[in-house]
Amino acid sequence: MKAMIIAVLSLVSLTASAQRMAVGGRGGLSIFSSQGSSAGLQLGPTFDYEFQPRLLYGSDLNINNQGGTPVEWAHYAKYLLDVSRPDLMPYVDGGFGLWFVTGGPYFSLRFGGGAYFKIAPNMYVPADVQLGPVFTSGSSTFYFAMTSGIRYILP
């Protein structure tokens, strides 16, 4: 019991040092490779929470304009890479998503990376690439997106 209390208290002290939230929006190009390739636009809000230094949990809601208007609700872990430039934060991420499209919802895996470019205090412009399979009924679709947008770290 004593060891469990010490473990919980050590986790609380680790998470107390980070705990920053950010909100933003994204837009860009998305491609689905089912029954031929279908390119379209993607728009949506973003949210992330830094629960450990350089480790974030995030969620996006992406609306795509391909046939059936696919909507992705994505969840991911993002790791900020350590670089010596204060105006640049490169990252890698991975997670899963739920796709709501005709005949869905469908499960997906997503992987990617990119960088945040600082443009003002607490404000960044992301350059992001995401890709991965979407497991549709009876087959799978491959998803690829290149996006940018805005990210604001809440004070």
Which residues span the domain enclosing 58? 20-153
CATH number at residue 120: 2.40.160.20
| pLDDT of 4 higher than 70 | no
pLDDT band for position 17 (50/70/90)?
Answer: low
pLDDT band for position 122 (50/70/90)?
Answer: very high
Note the pTM of the prediction, 2 decimals.
Answer: 0.82
Three-state SS for the chain is CHHHHHHHHHHHHHHHCCCEEEEEEEEEEEEEECCCEEEEEEEEEEEEEEEECCEEEEEEEEEECCCCCCEEEEEEEEEECCCCCCCEEEEEEEEEEEEECCCCCEEEEEEEEEEEEEEECCEEEEEEEEEEEEEECCEEEEEEEEEEEEEEECC
Looking at the domain assignment, is residue 11 inside a domain?
no
Looking at the domain assignment, is residue 2 inside a domain?
no
Instruction: Please answer whether residues 89 and 80 qualify as being in contact, where contact means their C-beta atoms are separated by less than 8 angstroms.
Output: yes
Instruction: Please answer whether residues 99 and 72 qualify as being in contact, where contact means their C-beta atoms are separated by less than 8 angstroms.
Output: yes
Task: Please tell me the total count of domains within the chain.
Answer: 1
Looking at the domain assignment, is residue 48 inside a domain?
yes
Pick the residue with more confidence: 4 or 72? 72
Looking at the domain assignment, is residue 93 inside a domain?
yes
Looking at the domain assignment, is residue 3 inside a domain?
no
Looking at the domain assignment, is residue 114 inside a domain?
yes
Looking at the domain assignment, is residue 24 inside a domain?
yes
Which residue bears the tokens 């690439």?
129
Looking at the domain assignment, is residue 6 inside a domain?
no
Give residue 18's pLDDT. Answer: 54
pLDDT in tens, 39-83: 899 999 999 999 999 999 999 999 988 877 889 999 999 999 999
